[in-house]
Amino acid sequence: MINFDQLAHQYNDELFNNIIPFWLDKSQDLENGGYFTCLNRTGEVYDTDKFIWLQGRQVWLFAMLYNNVEKREEWLQCAIQGAEFLKKYGHDGDYNWYFSLTKEGNPLVEPYNIFSYTFATMAFGQLSKATGNEEYAQIAKKTFEIILKKRFDTKGKWNKAFPGTRNLKGFSLPMILCNLALEIEHLLDKEVLDKTIKECLDEILNVFYKEEFGLILENVNVNGSFSDTFEGRLINPGHSLESMWFVMDLGVKLGRPDIIEKAVKITLKTIDYGWDKEFGGIFYFMDVKGHPTQQLEWDQKLWWVHIETLITLIKGYQLTGSQECLKWFEKVHEYTWSHFKDEQYPEWFGYLNRRGEVLLDLKGGKWKGCFHIPRGLFQCANILKKCK
């Protein structure tokens, strides 16, 4: 019989006694502001470039803890110093957010990536709640407006797709917008909020989700139809599974059990499909027709995929009592803790090969920062506390 209290304690303890101290101690650039995220196994900085995704996500995480756990000053100061760095150096003056900066804040990579904008919005939205600072609120609002404007042409001049031949749309943006809309609810007009949520839910559940596969596609034709191409056949099980807890949250907010039920159904189909029956763990990329993927890393096991899946499974159980969700939660929990947690040094590994062996022993890099692991531990701990 599963002991929910004990598990809640385990997630909580890992968050506050391992993960959070690691990032507080190791990542803050007290000289220039912002955070180093390229940290090796023991937490030493091995590269000093600063990636806006990860800068924004770390601001968000510490502001979120301050808002939801405890008014701890060092958390707030950590979030504020990162936000000040972002405010000063992260954008071009018109809230077009670069992709990366040098440690001093000089722009390295142009603002081609819409997710730099979404994570900046999350950061300043959450921090405006923590501080009541009106400037932070305005940055979040303005950036969110730009995201909505750029929504159907996110890459601008950096788009390499020839116009008109094969117009696809991607799953990532509606997925993130679902979560983002709730994140900055306190800053949005109710009308904009309701419209965004409605559109995104419809895109996820009725357009990217395809009944004939029982799965969510990463890309579809702009008219919503299946594209039998590398992009169109692509399945990212971790992405699909992560999005399902965003959808469940919206189901709760809207009082729509039908949406929650559908999310649970998609979750169970996706985890069964994405689970590696030979070595365990969830694949990174798959082709819905079983063809070779373009992604050479397709069979790797990534930290964010597994921790996000844990949130979805335990939330699915909490909201519907699904025993299948609970069984899968136990299986993914066992795999995740025994493979990703580094028993010797702080924080977790991010990249394992198919067999679950460590592929890169970094604790942070260009894509892994202070986000998925702590957010996931926090979410799971809180849900587990409520489970019976």
Half-sphere exposure of 252 (CA within 13 A, CB side): 11
Choose which of 99, 213, 279, 345 interacts with its own copies (CB under 8 A): 99
Q: Which of 326, 278, 320, 269 is nearest to 299 (CA)?
A: 278
Interface pattern 21-50 for its own copies (x via CB under 8 A): -----------------x-x-----xx-x-
Element (H, E) at 30: none
Choose which of 94, 134, 160, 344 interacts with its own copies (CB under 8 A): 160
For its own copies, the closer CB: 113 or 382? 113
Q: How far apart are the C-alpha atoms of 133 and 137, rounded to whole Å? A: 7
Identify whether the C-beta of residue 317 lies closer than 8 Å to the C-beta of residue 244: no
Paired with 302 in beta bridges are 351
Tokens of 186: 């306190």
Question: Least distance from C-beta 187 to its own copies, angstroms?
Answer: 29
The full length of the chain comes to: 388
For residue 293, give the DSSP letter: P
For residue 156, give the DSSP letter: G
Question: Least distance from C-beta 316 to its own copies, angstroms?
Answer: 29
Question: Least distance from C-beta 108 to its own copies, angstroms?
Answer: 5
Q: Which of 388, 286, 273 is nearest to 328 (CA)?
A: 273
Q: Per CB under 8 A, does 158 bind its own copies?
A: yes
- Number of other residues whose CB lies within 10 A of the CB of residue 331: 14
For its own copies, the closer CB: 49 or 261? 49
Distance from CA of residue 187 to its chain's centroid?
21
Q: Per CB under 8 A, does 294 bind its own copies?
A: yes
Interface pattern 312-331 for its own copies (x via CB under 8 A): --------------------
Interface pattern 203-232 for its own copies (x via CB under 8 A): --------------------------xx--
For every residue of 33-54, which 3-state class applies, written as one string? CCECCEECCCCCEEECCEEHHH
For its own copies, the closer CB: 294 or 338? 294
Question: Least distance from C-beta 212 to its own copies, angstroms?
Answer: 19
Identify whether the C-beta of residue 30 lies closer than 8 Å to the C-beta of residue 343: no
Count of residues of this chain found to bind its own copies when the rule CB under 8 A is applied: 42
Q: Which of 192, 196, 113 is nearest to 150 (CA)?
A: 113
Q: Per CB under 8 A, does 106 bind its own copies?
A: yes
Region 355-374 residues binding its own copies, contact defined as CB under 8 A: 359-362, 365-366
Choose which of 35, 66, 98, 136 interacts with its own copies (CB under 8 A): 98
Choose which of 85, 95, 245, 351 interacts with its own copies (CB under 8 A): 351
Interface ranges with its own copies (CB under 8 A): 38, 40, 46-47, 49, 98-99, 102, 106-110, 112, 157-158, 160-162, 165-166, 229-230, 289, 291-294, 296-300, 351, 353-354, 359-362, 365-366
